[in-house]
């Protein structure tokens, strides 16, 4: 009888202990959690380089903090390094794989470097540039983006590949007329100096400069406005000065006035010598 009562007491005591532990466990777990929680200030004690990188060139990542990305630390968390897609989503660029191929260090995300033959990744952001290249065919169209842009956000100098039209021209002068992604579509402002045009159109410039007509006072861009190879109509400035009969007989102004760069200056040509009359035989 005593043995039965003793066994009952042991069972009752064990049950009470188990219940007590269950009631106490949440408090212990909470205390343990509080003890294991770390802050950004704790991280820097061991990981000095990443916070320094963030401060120097962290971009938007600078405001996130260590614990904003790294949700734990080993051994409590086996994989503390997050996937980029955890935050970056909703754009075509974020659907690309291999983020670290260009963004080598996530703590300096905008310090981007890449190898040769890179285009697909670039065009997910730079849609205007690729549209210009594809819609306006040139030798630039067949190049990879990284062939010219070896560093992100760095535009090369035109003279890195191209010879300037004249020794006096600088990179700034190139951009007055040529856009890098559509270089053959030459456009310019009305204040482009005529000397820039003369690098290619030397004969026209020399004739105009040495002439004595009113055309001499005008810049090339005054007549050839906005777009390269634009040839204006004489009537745009001069109107219709001659009777309809003359215009019908000579529809081109140049038939009488020569070329616009050298008006009314016809070259003197020597007449061919007349053949002597043949002797009668």
| DSSP 8-state code for residue 92 | G
Q: What's the CA gap between 55 and 100, in Å, rounded?
A: 20
Q: What's the CA gap between 200 and 135, in Å, rounded?
A: 26
Rg of the chain in Å (alpha carbons): 40
Residue 206: predicted pLDDT: 93
- Report the chain's mean pLDDT, rounded to a whole number: 84
Residue 249 pLDDT > 60: yes
In this structure, what token pair is assigned to residue 3?
A: 């043995």
Residue 28: predicted pLDDT: 44
> Mean pLDDT, to the nearest integer, of 228-251?
89
Tens of pLDDT, residues 63-80: 888 988 998 888 888 889
Q: Does the model's pTM come out above 0.85?
A: no
71: Cβ contacts below 8 Å, ≥ 6 apart: 77, 80, 82
Confidence of residue 105 (pLDDT cuts 50, 70, 90): very high
Residue 163 pLDDT > 50: yes
| DSSP 8-state code for residue 200 | T
> Mean pLDDT, to the nearest integer, of 236-254?
89
Confidence of residue 275 (pLDDT cuts 50, 70, 90): low
Question: In DSSP terms, which residues pair with 227 in a beta bridge?
Answer: 187
Q: DSSP letter string over 3-31? A: HHHHHHHHHHHHHHHHHHHHHHHHHHHHH
The angle subtended at Cα 216 by Cα 211 and Cα 222, nearest 5°, is 145
Q: What's the CA gap between 194 and 40, in Å, rounded?
A: 62
Residue 230: predicted pLDDT: 87
The number of residues in the chain equals 281
Residue 172 pLDDT > 60: yes
């Amino acid at each position: 009888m005593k043995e039965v009562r003793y066994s009952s007491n042991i069972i009752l005591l064990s049950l009470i202990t188990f219940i007590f532990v269950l009631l106490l466990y949440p408090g212990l777990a909470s205390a343990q959690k509080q003890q294991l929680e770390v802050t950004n200030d704790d991280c820097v004690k061991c990981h000095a380089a990443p916070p320094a990188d963030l401060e120097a060139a962290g971009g938007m990542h600078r405001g996130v903090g260590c614990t904003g990305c790294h949700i734990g630390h080993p051994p409590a968390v086996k994989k503390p390094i997050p996937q980029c897609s955890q935050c970056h989503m909703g754009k075509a660029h974020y659907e690309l794989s291999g983020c670290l191929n260009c963004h080598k260090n996530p703590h300096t995300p905008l310090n981007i470097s890449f190898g040769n033959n890179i285009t697909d990744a670039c065009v997910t952001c730079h849609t205007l540039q690729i549209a210009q290249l594809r819609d306006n065919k040139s030798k630039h169209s067949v190049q990879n983006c990284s062939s010219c842009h070896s560093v992100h956000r760095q535009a090369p100098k035109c003279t890195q590949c191209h010879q300037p039209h004249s020794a006096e021209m600088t990179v700034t002068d190139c951009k007055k007329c040529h856009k890098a992604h559509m270089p053959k579509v030459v456009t310019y402002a009305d204040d482009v100096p005529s000397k820039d045009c003369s690098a290619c159109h030397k004969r026209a410039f020399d004739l105009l400069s040495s002439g004595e007509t009113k055309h001499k006072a005008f810049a090339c861009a005054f007549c050839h406005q906005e777009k390269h190879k634009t040839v204006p109509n004489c009537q745009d400035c001069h109107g219709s000065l001659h009777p309809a009969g003359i215009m019908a007989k000579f529809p081109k102004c140049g038939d009488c006035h020569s070329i616009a760069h050298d008006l009314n200056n016809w070259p003197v040509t020597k007449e061919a010598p007349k053949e002597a009359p043949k002797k009668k035989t």
